[in-house]
Amino acid sequence: MTELTGMTRDEITAWLAEKGAPAFRGKQVFEWIHRGADFDEMTNLPAKLRDELKACSVAQPVSIRLHRTSELDGTVKFLYELKDGNCVEGVLMRYHYGISLCISTQVGCRMGCRFCASTLEGKVRDLTAGEMLGEILAANRFLEHEGKKVSHVVLMGSGEPLDNYEQVIRFLRLLREEDGIRISLRNVSLSTCGIVPKMYDLAEEKLPVTLSVSLHAPNDEIRRKLMPVANSWGIRDILGACENYIRKTGRRVIFEYALTEGINAGEAEARALANLLRGMQCHVNLIPLNEVRERRLKGVREETVRRFMDILEERHISVTRRREMGDDIGGACGQLRRQTVQEISRRESVCESSI
């Protein structure tokens, strides 16, 4: 089945022309797709064409299986269902500047970061560009009753975006298609654990997205304890790729740093981090660790966060503490999907034992 959300307007037009449809139908179908519509809603298309499309293509590859809304701040956590039955997560966050959606780029993840729930069962498969776009379209339909749409996108959900490079780049280009959802790439952040060769490739794409790097340590010794990817590329390799990205795009780099008790959150680590980043066009985003039961890592006290920030600020490093959102709905990525998968597994076990 052809996935229409993964196609440009020109590609849909050419595809429909092969079926004998006039060129203007391509624009119509493309606009309907980017409104999050299914075929039955495309009322300006002939019924025969709609039936043909249903038989050979998919309008919306992603649906919202369930959602949880925070009573604290209105954050919404989505469990998206894909056409093959797999699930991924998304988080919709409300800010004064607009609505941001954190999307997934893979079902699961193979990077193995110790603090992450998404990687516990490894990677199942990559998402297509159309499925990534479908996450946004489903969120926009969810927001319709408010008269609002997603304005900012963060590729920081399940998966490593640069491990699904070709589809992620296609997704980014789809965001700014004429007659599409038209989200500025300056409103897009892409997070990576540090796949250095792909960071250089991304810089050559000349796409003005914000690069966020999961650093989480001021040296390779600590980083290898937290992130297996550190065995392939050291911090100096990552910083070199970041400097190149800054030169090529003119965009500052964001370094994500999850403070973990007894590992990377001491004053010595703060001073080392400041020395490491001195003079770079960057910003540090300190993250209170979302504890994952299976990982046995612990977050830090608020006074530790404050002291860490003070040390960076004293050394003229731009730093903020990530705003905690959706705490009452299991905000950490991967937790809702994991809970659902485990629940389905338990139900299947009960059914099998009763046969």
Average pLDDT over residues 243-259: 97
Q: Show the tokens assigned to 130.
A: 């159309």
Report the alpha-carbon distance of residue 234 to residue 92 in Å, rounded: 33
Q: Which of 285, 238, 292 is nearest to 258 (CA)?
A: 285
Contact assessment for residue 110 and residue 119, using Cβ atoms and an 8 Å cutoff? yes
Report how many domains make up the chain. Answer: 3
Q: Which of 31, 173, 45, 159 is nearest to 102 (CA)?
A: 159
Catalytic residue among 3, 89, 256, 269, which?
89
Q: What is the pLDDT of residues 272-303, one digit of tens each?
A: 999 999 999 999 999 988 766 555 788 899 99
Q: Which of 331, 339, 343 is nearest to 90 (CA)?
A: 331
Percent residues over pLDDT 70 in the chain: 90
> Do 311 and 245 reside in the same domain of the chain?
yes
Whether the pLDDT of residue 350 is over 60: the answer is: no
> Do 176 and 204 reside in the same domain of the chain?
no
Q: Is residue 250 one of the residues assigned to a domain?
A: yes
What is the three-class DSSP state of 63? strand
Q: In Å, what is the CA distance from 85 to each residue of 88, 152, 189?
A: 10, 27, 28
Predicted TM-score (pTM) of this structure:
0.91
Average pLDDT over residues 66-72: 94
Q: Is residue 11 one of the residues assigned to a domain?
A: yes
The region, left, alpha or beta by phi > 0 then psi within -120 to 50, assigned to residue 145 is alpha
> Do 272 and 301 reside in the same domain of the chain?
yes
> Do 66 and 47 reside in the same domain of the chain?
no
Percent residues over pLDDT 90 in the chain: 84
The CATH number that applies at residue 45 is 1.10.150.530
> Residue 9 sits in which domain range?
2-58
Q: Which of the listed residues 150, 183, 216 is the one where a domain comes to its end?
A: 183
Residue with token string 């959606």? 101
Q: Is residue 281 one of the residues assigned to a domain?
A: yes
> Do 126 and 249 reside in the same domain of the chain?
no
* Lowest-confidence pick of 123-137, 146-160, 165-179, 318-332: 318-332
pLDDT at 298: 87
Q: Is residue 93 one of the residues assigned to a domain?
A: yes
Query: SS3 for 132-159, per residue?
Result: HHHHHHHHHHHHHHHCCCCCEEEECCCC
Report the alpha-carbon distance of residue 327 to residue 77 in Å, rounded: 11
Q: What is the pLDDT of residues 109-119, one digit of tens each?
A: 999 998 888 88
Whether the pLDDT of residue 343 is over 90: the answer is: no
Q: Which of the listed residues 121, 155, 183 is the one where a domain comes to its end?
A: 183
The CATH number that applies at residue 99 is 3.20.20.70
Q: Is residue 334 one of the residues assigned to a domain?
A: no
Q: Is residue 329 one of the residues assigned to a domain?
A: no
Q: Which of the listed residues 35, 58, 81 is the one where a domain comes to its end?
A: 58
> Do 103 and 199 reside in the same domain of the chain?
no
> Do 204 and 222 reside in the same domain of the chain?
yes
Q: What is the pLDDT of residues 177-225, one digit of tens each?
A: 999 999 999 999 999 999 999 999 999 999 999 999 999 999 999 999 9
Whether the pLDDT of residue 351 is over 50: the answer is: no
> Do 214 and 308 reside in the same domain of the chain?
yes
Q: Is residue 199 one of the residues assigned to a domain?
A: yes
Backbone angles phi, psi at 67, to 5 degrees: -145, 155
> Do 226 and 252 reside in the same domain of the chain?
yes
Contact assessment for residue 78 and residue 138, using Cβ atoms and an 8 Å cutoff? yes
Q: Is 89 a catalytic residue?
A: yes
pLDDT at 224: 97
Q: Show the tokens assigned to 2.
A: 């052809």
| Cα angle, residue 228 at apex, residues 224 and 232 outer, rounded to 5° | 90
pLDDT at 294: 54
Whether the pLDDT of residue 328 is over 80: the answer is: no
> Do 199 and 320 reside in the same domain of the chain?
yes
Q: Is residue 348 one of the residues assigned to a domain?
A: no
Whether the pLDDT of residue 332 is over 60: the answer is: no
Residue 347 banded pLDDT, cuts 50, 70, 90? very low
Residue 336 banded pLDDT, cuts 50, 70, 90? low
Contact assessment for residue 317 and residue 284, using Cβ atoms and an 8 Å cutoff? yes
Using CA atoms of 189, 194, 196, 200 in order, give the dihedral in degrees to the nearest 10.
10
Report the alpha-carbon distance of residue 342 to residue 309 in Å, rounded: 38
Handedness of CA 222, 225, 228, 231 (dihedral sign): positive
DSSP of 234-300: -HHHHHHHHHHHHHHH-PPEEEEEEE-TTTT-SHHHHHHHHHHHTTSSEEEEEEE----GGG-----
* Lowest-confidence pick of 65-74, 75-84, 101-110, 288-297: 288-297
Average pLDDT over residues 17-28: 96
Backbone angles phi, psi at 124, to 5 degrees: -90, -50
Q: In Å, what is the CA distance from 318 to each residue of 40, 212, 260, 304?
A: 51, 14, 20, 18
Whether the pLDDT of residue 334 is over 80: the answer is: no
pLDDT at 118: 83
> Do 177 and 200 reside in the same domain of the chain?
no
Bridge partners, residue 69, by sequence: 76
> Do 295 and 284 reside in the same domain of the chain?
yes
